């Protein structure tokens, strides 16, 4: 990160909440679903969290933005009353780092899937080629539109690392039947990816 950028970010990250902000009252109201309280929260903490994540990601704005969005969703889900800004800010940074970690782990899982997927098809760049964010997005979209049972089968094999034998035992079918289904689903996903790539070009 450029030194000037880091110097401008770190003080903002370390700064406390705005003077006069009643954190216990704010978080108590947020826990009750008070929209005005959430508006105050965003005003007080949105930019502070964004700058914090920029520091954590070494200036990666895209990663920081995605983690921030995911972190804010988690705030809504898990908010409770906090007695001080220090404790509340500590909780917020944990949520932000967890969101970033999950985001990174998800990317690695999809990269691993692409690596294995390209052993069977040339629909996407080969294992030696680092796919871009758009390709990962297209893959996620392609998986999402598959029927639930087909998506689960692909995820079990390629994302969770289950063996064909384990899947066959779980589904109470033969390994040959599982392999045949995987071939058909891969072909369907390949066609979907090619169609999406064609429309993107």
pLDDT band at residue 191 under the 50/70/90 scheme: confident
- Does residue 118 sit in helix, strand or coil? coil
3-state secondary structure of 84: coil
Span 150-189, pLDDT tens digits: 888 988 887 777 899 999 999 999 999 999 999 898 888 8
Report which of 76, 3, 1 is spatially closest to residue 41, judged by C-alpha positions: 76
Query: What integer pLDDT is reported at residue 118 of this predicted model?
Result: 56
Which residue's entry shows tokens 């392999």?
179
Domain end position, chosen among 84, 105, 126? 105
| Residue 113 in domain | no
Residue-number span of the structural domain to which 175 is assigned: 118-200
Element (H, E) at 92: helix 85-117
pLDDT tens-digit profile of 23-47? 999 999 999 999 999 999 999 999 9
- pLDDT of the residue at 192: 80
8 Å CB contact between 99 and 67? yes
Greater confidence, 129 or 43? 43
73 and 123 both lie in a single domain: no
Work out the angle between the directed axes of helices 35-56 and 23-31 (0-180°, nearest 10).
Answer: 110
Boundary of a domain, candidates 79, 105, 131: 105
**pLDDT tens-digit profile of 43-97?**
999 999 999 999 988 888 888 998 999 899 999 999 999 999 989 999 999 999 8
* DSSP string over 120-175: T--SS--TTS---HHHHHHHHHHHHTS-HHHHHHHIIIIIS---HHHHHHHHTS-H
Q: What total of structural domains would you count in the chain?
A: 2
The token pair that represents 176 in the structure block: 């040959």
């Amino acid at each position: 990160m450029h030194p000037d950028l880091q110097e401008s970010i770190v003080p903002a990250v370390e700064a406390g909440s705005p003077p006069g902000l009643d954190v216990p009252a704010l978080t108590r109201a947020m826990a009750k679903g008070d929209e005005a309280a959430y508006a105050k929260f965003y005003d007080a903490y949105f930019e502070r969290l964004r700058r914090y994540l920029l520091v954590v990601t070494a200036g990666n704005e895209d990663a920081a933005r995605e983690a921030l969005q995911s972190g804010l969703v988690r705030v809504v889900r898990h908010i409770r009353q906090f007695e001080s800004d220090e404790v509340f800010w500590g909780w917020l940074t944990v949520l932000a780092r967890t969101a970033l970690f999950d985001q990174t782990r998800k990317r690695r899982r999809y990269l691993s899937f692409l690596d294995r997927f390209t052993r069977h098809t040339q629909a996407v760049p080969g294992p030696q080629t680092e796919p871009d964010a758009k390709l990962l997005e297209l893959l996620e979209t392609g998986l999402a539109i598959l029927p639930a049972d087909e998506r689960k089968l692909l995820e079990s094999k390629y994302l969770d690392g289950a063996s064909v034998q384990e899947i066959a035992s779980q589904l109470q079918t033969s390994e040959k039947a599982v392999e045949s289904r995987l071939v058909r689903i891969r072909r369907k996903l390949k066609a979907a990816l090619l169609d999406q790539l064609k429309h993107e070009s």
